[in-house]
């Protein structure tokens, strides 16, 4: 991008004012230091953050895309991606649901999504839909009374710079990995949460992340800090599929659980997986990690049914003594979807405990891999891990892989790993059919039964939605 | 109720049923006996519509309707029930959930709304007791970790709750101790009804000491080679199947 036009853009946007400008402005594709600086200026960020982004960018330039995951996709041209976009102009969007892909609407219908939410999800020109720029969240008043801060991270940079500066990148350093470095350089927006000492957050915090603009990379950045003795449950995502073409998504989520704090982070991810032939779909390369201090407790629960390619390992660093890390996961792939997902449990403190329950379901021609690391560091004594890793195959053209890595450097550590692979058998389906239950209902019952241990970790209403979601995602998977 | 004419069927390209005919009327209990490999179990699966079991000739009418034209689940919803010889496990799916899904599917066919959960639980508990299974079996996964005898009782429980019009029991008595056999017999006798027909596929005469059949048929080489009343079963018990095979040949 020419320096001149960029400067021009920066100046004019500045003049227009960032917060009031709702019309779409999307940067031309490509990434260099000027683009990073542009994003930072656009958000009116302090110098330290601009420097932080640039440092991440320089790190990213020296890194190469990881190739070890059990996934295959065409080479991503990072110079063909646009790295900034604020909401699209109302005029460019579908004006009503009549203009939206009927197949998408049919899916919304099956999931029982209310009409106004359908509009929002399909990107119809209604006020509440944005991408890249976070929506002002409701209930803020009630949260403020409890002293809870829940706001877009771009806002937190302005209003609570000391907290952001202290913790941003403290769990996932800017040069942690290729995608995290990219995210650190160009992150658009995301959520910021701070729970003060001893406070139990009065409600479950939830955010819908939405990608609406075609060919726009989405780089969410979420930072959650639970101060000493506090508790928070955070819900991310939604069950409805997102309309889209191939899109790069590289989010970073950092959790900090200080002494005696607890963070429960639940995700339901159902981004567009591509069509039945494997065309289109979102590439989802996510870095999620939490640090648990003394007696702290972090649990990740995820239900992953979307995206063409998923690369995601929500992890816990068990830094403090007696800290607890948990990972409960359901990953379902159908058609040509590929998922390489799992977790890392890094035991550093004494008497730390971690539990991993992973349920992978493969249907169609999809590939589903569990990849997990359990590390018991030399100074961590009396620590334990239990891992259970189950795969369920539907049909005979799909694949399931398990890659458990166990590094135990302390003789007092106890690490248990159990893995199973099973198939939805013709005999099971026959038994169901002979009792009058049709095949689709039977498969959905069997899959839901398989996932039960994970679903019970989800908040109630999320669990019901998740069950329904699996049913819809598996439609037509048994012929 | 059930009219089988000259039925021929193959499994994996092998002829198993070779022109089998059988008439079953409402209210009757038929016992089908025969040596190993004679096609007893195949008959049950062909009637139930097991995928891979191919009918090559003949016809089956169930209450006047062409049974062979119906999908597996449709046959079940019309009231055909097969108690499996080797019931499979469905881990994670609770027995209760499974039972309710089955009962609701049958009810939907009759245009009835889903059964009330509370009332159904009460009914299921009563049936659980009737077949001497602990209530905890309702919460456990379908057949998950059940012993052979428990699986058979579980089949019986499903049958009692579904109240089929035609119940086919595929060697439900095999591998059962004497107490369990009595439970199965009591269950079947409980279901005896002028509106209902029961077909017992069995190797042994001992089940028929507890359930008195109206007719006994001997299946050999994929056909019914001899029919009679309950005395035929006693004769078989005494003489084995050899003499019949000789007689037929």
Rounded to a whole number of angstroms, the distance from the CA of A116 to the nearest CA of chain B is 30
CA distance A297 to A68: 30
Q: How far is CA A203 from CA A144, A239, A261, A462, B162, in A?
A: 12, 20, 16, 14, 45
Greater confidence (A17 vs A365) lies with A365
Q: At a CB cut-off of 8 Å and minimum separation 6, what does A52 contact?
A: A168, A169, A174, A184
Q: If 0-12 CB within 10 Å is exposed, 13-18 middle and 19+ buried, where does residue A460 land?
A: exposed
Query: Which residues of chain A lie closer than 8 angstroms to B79, CB-CB?
Result: none
Query: Which residues of chain A lie closer than 8 angstroms to B49, CB-CB?
Result: 433-434
Q: Is the dihedral of CA A430, A431, A435, A438 positive or negative?
A: negative
Q: What is the tens place of the pLDDT at every residue in B34-88?
A: 888 889 999 999 999 999 999 999 999 999 999 999 999 999 999 999 999 999 9
Are B93 and A446 in contact (CB < 8 Å)? yes
ipTM confidence score: 0.94
Beta-bridge partner residues of A302: A267, A329
Q: How far is CA A416 from CA A314, A353, A413, in A?
A: 20, 12, 10
Residue A208 has a pLDDT of: 46
CA distance B107 to B125: 20
Q: What is the tens place of the pLDDT at every residue in A364-404?
A: 888 999 999 999 999 999 999 999 999 999 988 899 999 99
Window 60-119 of B: residues touching A by CB (8 A cutoff) are 71-73, 76-77, 81-82, 84, 87-94, 97-98, 101-102, 105-106, 109
Q: How far is CA B234 from CA A192, B178, B217, in A?
A: 81, 19, 12
| E-strand stretches of A308-398 | 309-312, 315-318, 324-333, 338-347, 353-362, 367-376, 384-393
Among A419, A425, A335, residue whose Cα is nearest residue A370: A419
Among B200, B164, B186, residue whose Cα is nearest residue B40: B200
Residue A458 has a pLDDT of: 84
Q: Sorting pLDDT into bands at 50, 70 and 90, what band is A100?
A: low
Contact A326, A355 (CB under 8 A): yes
Q: Is the dihedral of CA A36, A40, A42, A47 positive or negative?
A: negative
Residue A135 has a pLDDT of: 36
CA distance A362 to A474: 10
Contact A42, A10 (CB under 8 A): yes
Average the pLDDT over B185-210 and give the result: 92
CA distance B141 to B95: 6
Q: What is the tens place of the pLDDT at every residue in A248-270?
A: 889 999 999 999 999 999 988 87
Residue B35 has a pLDDT of: 86
CA distance A338 to A306: 10
> Which chain B residue shows the shortest CA-CA distance from A438?
B73
CA distance A226 to A262: 7
State whether residue A465 is helix, strand or coil: helix
Query: Which residues of chain B lie closer than 8 angstroms to A427, CB-CB?
Result: 88
State the CATH architecture for B2-248: 3-Layer(aba) Sandwich (3.40)
CA distance A21 to A2: 24
Tell whether the model's pLDDT for residue A23 goes beyond 90.
Answer: no
Q: Which pTM was predicted?
A: 0.80
Window 21-50 of B: residues touching A by CB (8 A cutoff) are 48-50
Query: Which residues of chain B lie closer than 8 angstroms to A433, CB-CB?
Result: 49, 71-73, 76
Domain ranges of chain B: 2-248
């Amino acid at each position: 991008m020419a320096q001149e036009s960029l400067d021009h853009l920066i100046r004019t946007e500045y003049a227009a004012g960032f917060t009031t400008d709702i019309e779409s402005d999307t940067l031309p594709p490509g990434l260099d230091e000027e683009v990073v600086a542009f994003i930072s200026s656009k958000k009116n960020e302090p110098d330290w953050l601009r420097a932080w982004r640039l440092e991440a960018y320089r790190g990213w330039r020296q890194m190469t895309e990881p190739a070890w995951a059990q996934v295959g996709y065409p080479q991503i041209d990072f110079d063909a991606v646009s790295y900034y976009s604020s909401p699209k102009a109302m005029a460019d969007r579908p004006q009503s649901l009549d203009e939206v892909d009927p197949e998408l609407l049919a899916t919304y219908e099956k999931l029982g999504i209310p009409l106004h939410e359908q509009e929002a999800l399909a990107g119809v020109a209604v006020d509440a839909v944005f991408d890249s720029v976070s929506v002002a969240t409701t209930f803020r008043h009630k949260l403020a009374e409890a002293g809870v801060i829940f706001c877009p991270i771009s806002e937190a940079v302005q209003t609570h710079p000391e907290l952001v500066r202290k913790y941003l990148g403290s769990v996932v350093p800017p040069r942690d990995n290729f995608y995290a470095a990219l995210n650190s350089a160009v992150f658009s927006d995301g959520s910021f949460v701070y729970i003060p000492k001893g406070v139990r957050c009065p409600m479950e915090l939830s955010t819908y992340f939405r990608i609406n603009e075609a060919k726009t990379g989405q780089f969410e950045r979420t930072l959650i800090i639970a101060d000493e003795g506090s508790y928070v449950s955070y819900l991310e995502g939604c069950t409805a599929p997102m309309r889209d073409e191939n899109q790069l998504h590289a989010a970073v989520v950092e959790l900090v659980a200080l002494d005696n704090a607890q963070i429960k982070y639940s995700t339901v991810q159902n981004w567009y997986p591509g069509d039945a032939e494997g065309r289109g779909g979102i590439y989802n390369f996510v870095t999620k990690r939490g640090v648990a201090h003394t007696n702290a407790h972090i649990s990740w629960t995820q239900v992953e049914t979307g995206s063409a390619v998923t690369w995601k390992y929500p992890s816990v660093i068990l830094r403090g003594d007696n800290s607890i890390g948990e990972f409960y996961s359901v990953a379902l792939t159908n058609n040509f979807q590929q998922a390489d997902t799992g977790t890392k449990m890094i035991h550093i403190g004494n008497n730390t405990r971690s539990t991993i329950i992973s349920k992978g379901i493969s249907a169609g021609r999809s590939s589903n891999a569990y990849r997990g690391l359990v590390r018991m560091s030399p100074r961590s004594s009396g620590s334990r891990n239990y891992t259970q890793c189950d795969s369920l195959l539907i049909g005979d053209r799909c694949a399931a892989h398990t890659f458990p890595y166990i590094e135990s450097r302390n003789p007092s550590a106890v690490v248990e790993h159990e893995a199973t692979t099973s198939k939805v058998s013709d005999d099971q389906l026959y038994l169901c059919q002979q009792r009058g239950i049709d095949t689709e209902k039977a498969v959905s019952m069997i899959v839901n039964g398989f996932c039960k241990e994970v679903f019970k970790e989800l908040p109630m209403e999320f669990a019901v939605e998740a069950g329904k979601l699996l049913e819809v995602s598996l439609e037509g998977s048994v012929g | 109720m059930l009219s089988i004419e000259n039925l021929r069927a193959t499994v994996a390209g092998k002829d198993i049923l070779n022109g089998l005919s059988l008439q079953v009327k409402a209210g009757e209990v038929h016992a089908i006996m025969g040596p190993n490999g004679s096609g007893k179990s195949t008959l049950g699966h062909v009637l139930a519509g097991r995928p891979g079991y191919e009918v090559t000739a003949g016809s089956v009418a169930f209450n006047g309707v062409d049974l062979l034209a119906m999908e597996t689940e449709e046959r079940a919803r019309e009231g055909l029930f097969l108690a499996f010889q080797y019931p499979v496990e469905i881990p994670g799916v609770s027995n209760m959930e499974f039972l309710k899904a089955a009962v609701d599917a049958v009810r939907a066919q009759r245009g009835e709304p889903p059964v009330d959960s509370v009332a159904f639980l009460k009914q299921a508990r009563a049936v659980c007791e009737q077949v001497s299974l602990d209530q905890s079996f309702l919460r456990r996964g379908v057949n998950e970790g059940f012993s052979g005898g428990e699986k058979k009782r579980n089949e019986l429980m499903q049958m009692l709750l579904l109240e089929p019009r035609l119940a086919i029991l595929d060697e439900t008595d095999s591998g059962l101790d004497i107490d369990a056999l009595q439970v199965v017999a009591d269950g079947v006798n409980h279901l005896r009804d002028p509106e209902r027909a029961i077909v017992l596929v069995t190797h042994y005469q001992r089940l028929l000491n507890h359930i008195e059949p109206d007719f006994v048929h001997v299946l050999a080489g994929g056909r019914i080679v001899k029919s009679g009343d309950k005395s035929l079963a006693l004769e078989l018990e005494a003489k084995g199947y050899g003499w019949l095979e000789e007689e037929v040949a």
